[in-house]
């Protein structure tokens, strides 16, 4: 069997997927431009199986075509993208060029090499402002920012490529991804960090730090936003099931990846205090624009068709994230001394 190409494999979710693929005995090629991924992560992954790393940029079509000529690729798992919502509003060009343009180049290279299976990181942001909760896959897709729009455009392009060229895709629409490798080998490592859990946890390090909570007057049980936190190890397991599905001839499809369960920001905050055993100072701030009150997945379709069952709790995610944050904190301390 050929290798699995993982674009964005040096990043947060991609690297966890590489570990899961290696665990199942797959040979992996990582393609990443290290714009937000880390070479240290790649070096760690190399300890756990047959991984090759190609540094390249999806926006440069010759980089990705070279890869398909050099390696025998069986299927692609495509994580590489920019993913900061606020930045996408300020600089949509950056997002369309990288996410849509980069994916177009990837698909061209796949067609040239006759590789016709792809698992793609889509997002709950393709749904936009929810019309009902929990959100199933029949919910209209009306993204409210260029990031979500870029992902929806890719989903639509993938449908056309299936009809015209027989390129089959599974699009996985993630809700809020959380946690780290349970052995703390790798974890979430974004600069800047925009996600709730790592930011709460980071505020436990050092004296006098506090955490800003945006929006306390939403129509939810305690006034703060509700989100569905899916553990990263559970999430990447769904990618392996999606690969199996495509390898067995499954048709192009799309699935929500979430837990069917929502937690308010205050509940997440309390859970972080419980797991870390620390009192964290929280400053209530006004709402940020573009944050829906509640986002919770209906994951019945992934359960039924992919036989995917998320197993980890919110506390499991916070616990593994905290173990990883402590390692990152030590690393930064050493580097700054
Ligand atoms: N983190 C979440 O909660 C979440 C939620 C929904 C969807 N997603 C999607 O999941 C995917 C992975 O997210 P993440 O949190 O791991 O992000 P990340 O930034 O950690 O990883 C993205 C990786 O892609 C690489 N990359 C970006 N543009 C590239 C290009 N042009 N060529 C080659 N490599 C490139 C980066 O260097 C990085 O290693 C993204 O597509 C994101 O949109 C993430």
Q: Is the CB of 256 under 6 A from ligand 1?
A: no
The CA-based dihedral angle spanning residues 252, 255, 257, 258, taken in that order and rounded to the nearest 10 degrees: 180
Local structure of residue 282 (DSSP, 8 states): E
Residue extents of the structural domains in the chain: 3-179+229-257, 196-227+261-336
| End-to-end CA, the chain | 47
Note if 12 is an active site residue: no
pLDDT, tens digit (0-9, with 9 covering 90-100), for 235-294: 999 999 999 999 999 999 999 999 999 999 999 999 999 999 999 999 999 998 888 999
The CA-based dihedral angle spanning residues 261, 264, 270, 276, taken in that order and rounded to the nearest 10 degrees: 60
Q: Where are the alpha helices (DSSP H) in the chain?
A: 12-23, 39-45, 61-70, 85-90, 92-95, 102-113, 146-165, 196-202, 232-247, 265-276, 300-306, 314-336
Does domain 3-179+229-257 fall into CATH 3.90.79.10? no
Q: Is the CB of 5 under 6 A from ligand 1?
A: no
Does domain 196-227+261-336 fall into CATH 3.90.25.10? yes
DSSP string covering 118-175:
EEEEEEGGGT-S-SSSSB-TTS----SSHHHHHHHHHHHHHHHHHHHH--EEEEEEE-
CA of 290 to the centre of ligand 1 (A): 21
pLDDT, tens digit (0-9, with 9 covering 90-100), for 69-105: 999 999 999 999 999 999 999 999 999 999 999 999 9
Q: What was the pLDDT predicted at 1?
A: 66
Q: What was the pLDDT predicted at 333?
A: 87
Q: Is the CB of 102 under 6 A from ligand 1?
A: yes
Q: What was the pLDDT predicted at 257?
A: 98
Q: Is the CB of 61 under 6 A from ligand 1?
A: no
Nearest to 182 by CA among 51, 309, 317, 48: 317
- Which stretches of the chain score pLDDT less than 70? 1
User: Among residues 95, 96, 147, 161, which one is catalytic?
Assistant: 147
- Report the atom number in ligand 1 closest to the C-alpha of 14: 16
CA of 317 to the centre of ligand 1 (A): 19
């Amino acid at each position: 069997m050929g290798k699995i190409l993982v674009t964005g494999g040096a990043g947060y979710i991609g690297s966890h997927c590489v570990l899961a693929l290696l665990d199942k005995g797959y040979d992996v090629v990582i393609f990443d431009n290290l714009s937000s991924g880390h070479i240290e992560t790649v070096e760690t992954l190399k300890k756990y199986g047959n991984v090759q790393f190609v540094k390249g940029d999806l926006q440069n079509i010759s980089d990705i075509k070279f890869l398909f000529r050099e390696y025998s690729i069986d299927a692609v798992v495509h994580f590489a993208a920019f993913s900061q919502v606020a930045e996408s509003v300020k600089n949509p060009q950056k997002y369309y060029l990288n996410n849509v343009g980069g994916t177009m180049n990837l698909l061209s290279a796949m067609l040239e090499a006759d590789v016709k299976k792809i698992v793609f990181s889509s997002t709950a942001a393709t749904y936009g402002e929810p019309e009902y909760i929990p959100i199933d896959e029949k919910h209209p897709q009306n993204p409210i920012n260029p990031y979500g729009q870029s992902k929806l455009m890719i989903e639509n392009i993938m449908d056309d490529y299936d009809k015209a060229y027989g390129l089959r895709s599974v699009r996985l629409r993630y809700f809020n991804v959380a946690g780290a490798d349970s052995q703390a080998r790798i974890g979430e490592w974004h600069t800047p960090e925009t996600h709730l859990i790592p930011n709460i946890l980071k505020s436990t390090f050092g004296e006098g730090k506090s955490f800003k909570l945006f929006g306390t007057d939403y129509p939810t049980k305690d006034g703060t936003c509700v989100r569905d936190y899916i553990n990263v190890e559970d999430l990447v397991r769904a990618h392996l099931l999606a690969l199996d599905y495509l390898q067995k001839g499954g048709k192009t499809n799309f699935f929500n990846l979430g837990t069917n369960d929502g937690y308010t920001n205050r509940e997440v905050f309390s859970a972080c205090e419980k797991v870390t055993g620390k009192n964290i100072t929280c400053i209530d701030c006004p709402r940020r624009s573009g944050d829906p009150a509640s986002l919770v997945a209906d994951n019945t379709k992934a359960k039924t068709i992919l036989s995917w069952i998320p197993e980890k709790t919110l506390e499991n995610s916070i616990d593994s994230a905290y173990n990883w944050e402590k390692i990152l904190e030590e690393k930064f301390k050493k580097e700054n001394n």
